Each structure stands twice: as structure tokens, then as C-alpha cells.
A and B are shown apart, each in its own frame.
Chain A
């Protein structure tokens, strides 16, 4: 089978690209290993809601039309939102079609699937940034009596054995699961590494509203000389909920969660934790205040003091003077470990020389070095918002323009 562009993945990013390609009359097909919004349907926990408010899910040609713009979609609402988008834009989707490889041939690409191969001039990889849960190498030393689970398999507390839980990782996923398991009556210990603290609501508005208005989410990748750092920043400590509550380390301490340092090693069945917790808490507090300063400056520049609530600063993160540095994992205190240590994409099926020495797909703002190959939805790939649903529109617009220029043979296109 032949087409001009193969888009791999029918999530919000692949669909946004499909819409842009249709607008440009570029013949294409969207290959999906499962169904539309597959990851949301099969790999996310029950109580999860989007971290971004409803108004912020703006896909090209499709926005929020309900009566709760400040609410947060639950999983079924998120799935039906993406399904409706697929219908509205009449995306040419082939569901239940798993891509096994992408290879170069005749100046184009062959995309092999379990339902036949495709020959295309260009390929857009939109298979998601959060496909494989990261589990640190030291997990092999966890004693066998302790259950281990990743957020990809976690659904709800009923899955988890009674007794203590250690959640490793204090970003969006780790803090939400820690809170849910602590509320379920289990004693949760949260191992805290580097994290990004933000309040859900500031000066009466959602933090995402401020980040959107102040231009923070639109910051481009060209402005950063250390892209490695910003692309690997942990996710914001945020949760979507009806009561708009802030999920930070202090709120978890109030729930009864115990905070300990980063899990640094396991020796002879004993876990060792880093003594760096006070500094990590301090780094996060300082970084949060820099964001709040940016917001306050924007409010002042736009003379909006009278219409928003006054500025405030939040309590610094409370950390025990001497949190424990070790724990005997054989003591029975911990029955389950949840690895909330981040996700990475799965690009293992791309048979092209486009990976860096750590096996990560190399790209310039989503433009992969192999001509005609593009990627969507990776953290900060073009803008701070690139990994958000709201980031797909601008990235798809830019990359489809690049792709069109390339197809027309119009000289070297700017990344």
C-alpha cells in the first residue's frame, strides 16, 4: 500500500497532525495499534483526571464546548473527547494495526505492520512520550516478598496488598498515587527525588491559566542552550480534581504520608535513601517562587491587580530534620513498591540511524534527521507545552508546514 504520509498513533497528537495534513490536502493514513485514545483506555489508573483544565484541551479545529471550562476531564471524558475529535476531522485511521518497523527505502520509508506494509514519503511518529514506565536498575535487589507495580499497571487501591506502601517518585503520578493509597488506609512512604512544585490555584486562577497567559507554555526550544535539562524535567506536582486541591509534599504530610529521600541503593535487603531531601525541597520551593514572581510581574505589567486576588507565597516544604536514611525491607513494614519514576517513549521499532548514544530519538524541534520523519508529543520538543494536549496544535501546524515544504522540494526547510 502507498500513501504520502504515515502517521503512527491515533492519540491527540497523531490526530492533530492528521487534521493539519488533511487541511494541506496531503494523502495520509493514521496507524493505531489498538483503538483511538488507546493509552488512555488501557494504561491509566481509574481516578486519573487530566492535569489541564477543560478549556485548555484545544486541538486544531476543535475546542471545549461544555459548561465547565475550569473542570478536569476524567478518563472516560478524555477518551470520548479524543474519539469525537477523530470523527469530526474524519481521520483516515486504521485501528488494530501494530507497526513493527520503519525502514528507509527508495528515498522514502517502508512502514511494516501486522496488517501489511506501507510505502510512504514521510512518517510522523506520534506513539506517545509515556509508553514505557521507567524502573530503576536497583529494583532487581528488592526482596521477593515485596510486590512491585508501575503506574502503567496500577488501577486503584484494591489491587494493592494491605500494609505499607513505598511510592518512589514525587512528580504528578507519584504524588497522586501516594495520596490515593494513604486515603485507602495504607501507610505510604514517599521517596522524593527532584520534583517541580506548583500550586493548583494562584491568585484565584488555575496555574495553567497563568502559565498560558504569561507565555510560559509557549516558550520555544530554541531559547534554551541546555535542552537536555528542560526536556528531562519531572512533571509538575499537579492533579486534576473537582475541589481543585493542591497536591504538594506538605499536603501529603498532612494526610499522613511519610517523606524520605531519593531511593539511592539497596544492599543486603536494606534500602538506602539519599540525604539530599532538604535541598531538593528547597530547590522546588525556590523554583515555584520564581514562577510566581513571573506571574506577579505579568499581573503588574498588565495592571490587573484589581481584578485578581492578591499575591501570596506558600509555606515552604516541611521536611523532618533527620528523615530516615535506611529501611529494612525484610521487616514487613513495606508490602508494595510503586515505581512512579517516570516514563519514556518506545521507539524501538524505528530502524533508522536517528538515536543518540543513550538510545533516545534525536530531533530538532520534532524534525528528525532522516528527511521526512517527524515526531510529535515529546517533552519540550518545540515548546514547553509540546507534551500537553494543548501543545499538539502548534506543533502539528509547524511540522506539517515543514513536511509540505519538503514534499514540494522547496529547498532546505527551516526547523
Chain B
């Protein structure tokens, strides 16, 4: 008799489903606040850090503080001490979608063997340099390509990737407008 190996992508789907049920009953606990702080170091080099956040009705914290150096490469006359902020956006999008791929696959009993995302975003520097007012500062589009090896049909894998976009916070932040308010002192 053949025994199927349980699918394990390292995602605790039971806990996630339990959380969904609990937060349906207590929507106020679903209100989260994400935070980051950023210190200028020198030139275009800065260091952001994340530690605390709010959720489930109380203050929470990561197990440790995480930091992210951002800078610009030497072709921008900078010292290249970190990723560009725009690259961090791509990293955030890829990480968010990939977490979704793993979770959705686990929920659908699909064993993943490897998942690699490759991203590219176009940008016309005439925008941020103020050369042409009709050119936007941001990306003119983002391409994400997934190479996925999994125990599932091509259609089922495509459906996992599509569902991960549907449920992704960063995908939503990028594809939809968000009000941003910036204050000083």
C-alpha cells in the first residue's frame, strides 16, 4: 500500500485558517499597524529598521530588529552601500507574492520543490531628474516571472500564482493608489 507523503511547504495553514476564523469574529483584532524608521547616514545612504508593530489588539515586536541599507549605485555618483529603494520595492513585491505562493500551494495540497521569481521594472530617469514633466517618477511597469517546480499541473500552478496576486498586500499597494501623508517635526 502506498502512503502519500503529506504536503509540507513549511506553512501552517491550520493556524492561518484559525486566525481567519478568529478575526472574522473579532474584526478589531484584525487592525494592524506596520512601522519602519529610517535614519540618514550620509549622501544617499540611509538605514531603515523595523522592530515593533501593532496587531491583535496590542503592541507586538519582531524577534529581532531588522535593518535595510539603501543607497544608489556609483553611476548615480553615490557610494553604493545598499540596494536602491526601488529595488527594495521589487524585493518586497517578490517576497509578498512568494509567501502567497507557498501558502496557497500548501492550502491546495501542492508540494513545492523550488520557486524562483525574477523581476524587472522599467524606469525613465527623465522623470526623477525633472527633465520631462510628462514622465512619471516611478516604474513604467513591473514584470514578474516565476519558475516553479511543483507536484501539480501547469494550470494548477498558474492558479496558485494568480491567487497569490489576488491576496497580496504589496501587489495591492503597488497596483492601487494609496494616500500618503508626510509631516515634518
**Residue interface bits A257-286, CB-to-B below 8 A is 1, else 0:** 000010011010000101110010011001
Q: What chain B residues lie within 8 Å of A265 (beta carbons)?
A: 176-177
Residues B175 and A267 in contact, CB atoms below 8 Å apart:
no
Residue of B nearest to A261 (CB): B175
Residue of B nearest to A322 (CB): B141
Q: What chain A residues lie within 8 Å of B54 (beta carbons)?
A: none
Q: What chain A residues lie within 8 Å of B140 (beta carbons)?
A: 322
Residue of B nearest to A226 (CB): B20
Q: What chain A residues lie within 8 Å of B23 (beta carbons)?
A: none
Residues A279 and B165 in contact, CB atoms below 8 Å apart:
yes
Report the separation of the CA atoms of residues A322 and B172 in the bound assembly, to the nearest whole angstrom.
Answer: 17
**Residue interface bits B83-108, CB-to-A below 8 A is 1, else 0:** 00000000000000000000000000
Interface size class of B (residues with CB under 8 A): 10 to 19
**Residue interface bits A299-332, CB-to-B below 8 A is 1, else 0:** 0000000000000000000000110000000000
Residues B175 and A274 in contact, CB atoms below 8 Å apart:
yes
Segment 230-282 of A: residues with Cβ below 8 Å from B? 261, 264-265, 267, 272, 274-276, 279, 282
A286's partner among B162, B171, B175, B176 (CB-CB below 8 A) is: B162
Residue of B nearest to A194 (CB): B166
Q: A282-B158, A282-B162, A357-B27 are in contact. Are A272 and B177 (CB under 8 A)?
A: yes
Residues A276 and B165 in contact, CB atoms below 8 Å apart:
yes
B162's partner among A272, A283, A321, A322 (CB-CB below 8 A) is: A283
Report the separation of the CA atoms of residues A261 and B140 in the bound assembly, to the nearest whole angstrom.
Answer: 16
Answer whether residue B19 sits at the interface, using C-beta atoms and an 8 A cutoff: no
Q: What chain A residues lie within 8 Å of B27 (beta carbons)?
A: 357
Q: What chain A residues lie within 8 Å of B171 (beta carbons)?
A: 276, 279
Answer whether residue A289 sits at the interface, using C-beta atoms and an 8 A cutoff: yes
Report the separation of the CA atoms of residues A261 and B174 in the bound assembly, to the nearest whole angstrom.
Answer: 13
Residue of B nearest to A272 (CB): B177
Q: What chain A residues lie within 8 Å of B159 (beta carbons)?
A: 283, 286, 290
Interface size class of A (residues with CB under 8 A): 10 to 19
Q: How far is the CB of B175 from chain A (nearest CB, A)?
A: 4
Q: What chain B residues lie within 8 Å of A279 (beta carbons)?
A: 162, 165-166, 171
Report the separation of the CA atoms of residues A28 and B150 in the bound assembly, to the nearest whole angstrom.
Answer: 59
Residue of A nearest to B21 (CB): A225
Residues A283 and B177 in contact, CB atoms below 8 Å apart:
no
Q: How far is the CB of B94 from chain A (nearest CB, A)?
A: 15
Q: What chain B residues lie within 8 Å of A289 (beta carbons)?
A: 155
A283's partner among B141, B155, B166, B174 (CB-CB below 8 A) is: B166
Answer whether residue B52 sits at the interface, using C-beta atoms and an 8 A cutoff: no
Q: A279-B166, A322-B141 are in contact. Are A286 and B158 (CB under 8 A)?
A: yes
B176's partner among A264, A290, A357 (CB-CB below 8 A) is: A264
Residue pairs across A and B with Cβ atoms less than 8 A apart, 29 shown, are A261-B175, A264-B175, A264-B177, A265-B177, A267-B177, A272-B176, A272-B177, A274-B175, A274-B176, A275-B174, A275-B176, A276-B165, A276-B171, A276-B175, A276-B176, A279-B165, A279-B166, A282-B158, A282-B162, A283-B163, A283-B166, A286-B158, A286-B159, A286-B162, A289-B155, A290-B159, A321-B141, A322-B140, A322-B141
Q: Which 10 A-B pairs rank lowest in CB-CB distance, beginning with the nearest?
A: A275-B175, A265-B177, A279-B165, A264-B176, A276-B175, A283-B162, A272-B177, A286-B159, A274-B175, A274-B176
A-side residues, CB < 8 A to B, are 261, 264-265, 267, 272, 274-276, 279, 282-283, 286, 289-290, 321-322, 357
Known: A261-B175, A283-B163. 12 other contacts (CB 8 A): A265-B176, A265-B177, A274-B175, A275-B176, A276-B165, A276-B172, A276-B175, A276-B176, A279-B171, A282-B158, A282-B162, A290-B155
